[in-house]
Structure 1
Amino acid sequence: MYKVLISGYYGFNNIGDESILRAVVDNLQGRLEDIEITVLSQDPVSTAEKYGVKSVNRKSVKSIVSAVSRCDLLISGGGSLLQDVTSKKSILYYLIIMWMALLFRKKIFIYSQGIGPINSSLNRKLTSKTLSKVSGIVVRDEASKEFLAEIGVDCRKVVVTADPVLRIKRAPLIIGEEILRKEGINLNKEQLTVGFAIRERKLNSEFVDELCIAMERLVTEKNAQIVLIPFHFSEDVSVIEEIEKRLGEKVYSIKHKYLTNEMLSIIGNMDLLVGVRLHALIHSAIMNVPMIAISYDPKINSFMKSIGMKAMCSIYDFNSEDFIDEFNKTLQHKEVLKKRVQNKLIDLTKALDTNEEMIKNIMEK
């Protein structure tokens, strides 16, 4: 029995990171024989139940030390773990766990991560020194590889694949239809349904102002039905409530938490998805739904480039007039865009097999 420990941002009700864990666990179990998986989680009981794995509290030093000492391989799994923009402390958490594994002489694998930005010179040095000692590094985009080379990591040992969530299978649309109905949202073939997955912590920002104008125009000019979709529930509810306060019954929102398969199906029932959240855009690509990306981080731009598209703009230069133009163009060319994305996904999902191939080689050594 080969014991694998997965470290990441799990158990926080962030559907993007939960989708990553779903993809990583499914592919490890489906492609590697005789393995036991343990996950460090904020909510170990829920994680164990959802994914059929063992799980321990990511905040318990005693539990972490025990889990690291018992494992054969530590996987630092998916997402944007090694960056210090959204948090200056979280990067140290993930690096400390890797150093703990090194002290116990365990092997370490970086699983399709997005690396950076890392602004602190100390964090850059620590990251470079740590990753120089791991058994394998796979990143999800070229920008991450370039960043690692910039901070001194030998780029010859870095492999580029894609975000692991891209390998999740499409969900049946009926699941999302029933959820939307329970949420008070009735789909109408004669009416456009437009999903918005928004990330914004400043509720009085110009971005929110312009976003509300854009939504109101979609309702009045396009007879569109607007659905606000929280991807990181605890963070996104605030901005959703702010938009609801301003626009009232002109918009609908998802009020409850859902699993990866359910969220995929919800997205699949949209005629178009406007996304600031990376994994909302990835869900949209999987479900073959036309999308408009608004970037708050380089990872959005990198993903859109990987599927042959571009982000419309950033949250800092978004305006409703340009958005309506982009909306019209996207609808007009939706079939061409959908075909382009699906062709790109074939290559990206094939590339993801590299993770398990490298892990298998590490296990055999």
Structure 2
Amino acid sequence: MQALICGYYGKGNGGDEALLVSLLQMLPKKIKPIVLSNNPSQTRQRYGIETCPARSAFAILQAFQQSDIFIWGGGSLMQDVTSFASPFYYAALMGLAQQQGLKTVAWAQGIGPLKRPTTRWLTEQVLRGCTAVSVRDSQSATLVSQWDISPLIAPDPVWALESKPVQGLWDLPAPRVALNLRSHPQLTPQRLEVLTQALIDFQKATNAFILLVPFQASQDLAIARSISARLPQSHKIMTLDDPRELKGLFKGVEMTIGMRYHSLIMAGAEECRCFALSYDPKVSRLMQELNIPGWELAELPEDPNVISTAWLECYANGDALSSAQIHSLVDRALMHQELLKFVSDFETD
């Protein structure tokens, strides 16, 4: 049995790569994956799987003919805030799979924001045709239920991703604090300057070793380098290609200041204290669900002292998730695995 898997893969985004590895980890053994990738040779070499170029119509049609199941493999694929075109691309693939008679799965999706009536209608139509739907948050579930679709609701699969140790991490000075920022219109040069000064002050007060952790080099690395050039004390830019190592990094970190959604999930899963800088509703929802301190980026204080003081409070007195909370999140995230098993069994009945 073959499954064609589609997502934001091969773009060098650590969070989306982590979703792919989580899916491959959960996929029933009897299913052979074919992964649509924007960098098929890299994806094939990195994970030892069959791939298909994500932008080649001919190759995709061939892959459909070879497949029994089509899977949207996690993430916020159906949203029209960062791109108007991408929901049409993903919906077109899902619609084509349904026309071809494949079993179709919307797996671990964060649905929305959907600002335009066209993309809302499109999302509703393709979800109605799915064999199974799972979402990763209650807001997505509420939206989907308005369309009389009953999804499985479970935490993001990356909670259950198996982490790997990072060579040399424990040789770096302790305590260690990780920072992840990404380029975004809300992260203006003025706000970046305020955050950089706050980090300098925070490091002076704690003597912490700062790990600058880009999740996507094209969007995060330049920011990490700009901060690195300003930090007077010990620090390192950590660029990791393996999502399991990226998650394992946070096992050796006291606190994470994170902007990206999956930086906070990975850190939280490894019992690391978290402080969030939210640029997106999915990050804000995660903050609310897990009681993570932080700010909406648009409401960031202009005084670096206010920010560094809040970070110091989190560092000294903040709480990581308890082992019981993490265990519960991991167990519930594995419900996405049960959905895949259901679909594979359903296919053979």
TM-score between the two structures when normalised by the length of structure 2? 0.91
Displacement after TM superposition at 1:254 (Å): 2.0
What SS does the aligned partner of 1:5 have?
strand
AA of the residue aligned to 2:172: L
Displacement after TM superposition at 1:226 (Å): 1.9
**Corresponding residue number in structure 2 for 1:154:** 148
Given candidates 324, 332, 336, the residue that maps to 1:348 is 332
CA distance in 2, matches of 1:147, 1:352: 19
CA distance in 1, matches of 2:153, 2:321: 24
Displacement after TM superposition at 1:161 (Å): 0.9
Residues 354 and 33 (structure 1), Cα distance of their counterparts in 2 relative to 1, 3 Å cut? closer
Residues 68 and 125 (structure 1), Cα distance of their counterparts in 2 relative to 1, 3 Å cut? same
AA of the residue aligned to 1:295: S
Q: For residues 232-260 of structure 1, give each alpha carbon's deviation from its aligned partner in whole angstroms, at most 9, with x where no partner exists.
A: 11111122233234x15446342644211
Q: Is residue 2:32 matched to residue 1:36?
A: yes
Q: Is residue 2:261 matched to residue 1:278?
A: yes
CA distance in 2, matches of 1:344, 1:317: 32
CA distance in 2, matches of 1:39, 1:240: 30
Q: For residues 70-97 of structure 1, give each alpha carbon's deviation from its aligned partner in whole angstroms, at most 9, with x where no partner exists.
A: 2111001101111011111111110010
Deviates more, 1:209-218 or 1:235-244: 235-244
CA distance in 2, matches of 1:310, 1:122: 34
Contact 2:18 2:243 in 1 (8 A): yes
Aligned positions of 1:313-352 closer than 5 A: 313-319=295-301, 320-334=304-318, 337-339=321-323, 341-352=325-336
**Corresponding residue number in structure 2 for 1:88:** 84
Contact 1:20 1:165 in 2 (8 A): yes
CA distance in 2, matches of 1:283, 1:243: 22
% same residue:
27
Aligned positions of 1:167-182 closer than 5 A: 167-172=160-165, 175-176=166-167, 178=168, 180=169
Residues 358 and 280 (structure 1), Cα distance of their counterparts in 2 relative to 1, 3 Å cut? same
Contact 1:197 1:229 in 2 (8 A): yes
Q: Is residue 2:291 matched to residue 1:309?
A: yes
Deviates more, 1:250-259 or 1:57-66: 250-259
Q: Is residue 2:176 matched to residue 1:193?
A: yes
TM-score between the two structures when normalised by the length of structure 1? 0.87
Displacement after TM superposition at 1:289 (Å): 1.1
Contact 1:194 1:226 in 2 (8 A): yes
What SS does the aligned partner of 1:82 have?
coil
**Corresponding residue number in structure 2 for 1:207:** 191
CA distance in 1, matches of 2:234, 2:63: 46
CA distance in 1, matches of 2:193, 2:296: 15
Residues 347 and 256 (structure 1), Cα distance of their counterparts in 2 relative to 1, 3 Å cut? closer
Displacement after TM superposition at 1:6 (Å): 0.1
Instruction: Please list every run of at least 4 consecutive aligned residues from structure 1 whose deviation after the TM superposition is greater than 6 angstroms.
Output: none
Residues 266 and 70 (structure 1), Cα distance of their counterparts in 2 relative to 1, 3 Å cut? same
Aligned positions of 1:21-170 closer than 5 A: 21-28=20-27, 32-150=28-146, 153-155=147-149, 157-170=150-163
CA distance in 2, matches of 1:116, 1:253: 35
Displacement after TM superposition at 1:99 (Å): 1.3
What SS does the aligned partner of 2:298 have?
coil
Displacement after TM superposition at 1:314 (Å): 1.0
Structure 1 runs not aligned, ≥5 long: none
Report the RMSD for the aligned CA atoms in angstroms: 2.2
**Corresponding residue number in structure 1 for 2:273:** 290
Contact 1:69 1:101 in 2 (8 A): no
Q: For residues 80-138 of structure 1, give each alpha carbon's deviation from its aligned partner in whole angstroms, at most 9, with x where no partner exists.
A: 11101111111111001011112211111011111100111111111111111111110
Contact 2:35 2:52 in 1 (8 A): yes
Contact 1:233 1:257 in 2 (8 A): no
Displacement after TM superposition at 1:329 (Å): 3.3
**Corresponding residue number in structure 1 for 2:3:** 4
Contact 1:11 1:44 in 2 (8 A): yes
Structure 2 runs not aligned, ≥5 long: none
AA of the residue aligned to 1:316: A
CA distance in 2, matches of 1:276, 1:242: 16
Q: For residues 127-160 of structure 1, give each alpha carbon's deviation from its aligned partner in whole angstroms, at most 9, with x where no partner exists.
A: 111111111110001111112234xx213x2110
CA distance in 1, matches of 2:176, 2:70: 43
CA distance in 2, matches of 1:337, 1:138: 24
Deviates more, 1:317-326 or 1:207-216: 317-326
Q: Is residue 2:347 matched to residue 1:363?
A: yes
Residues 201 and 44 (structure 1), Cα distance of their counterparts in 2 relative to 1, 3 Å cut? same
**Corresponding residue number in structure 1 for 2:252:** 269
CA distance in 2, matches of 1:138, 1:279: 18
AA of the residue aligned to 1:195: A
CA distance in 1, matches of 2:227, 2:123: 39
**Corresponding residue number in structure 2 for 1:252:** 235
Displacement after TM superposition at 1:266 (Å): 2.2
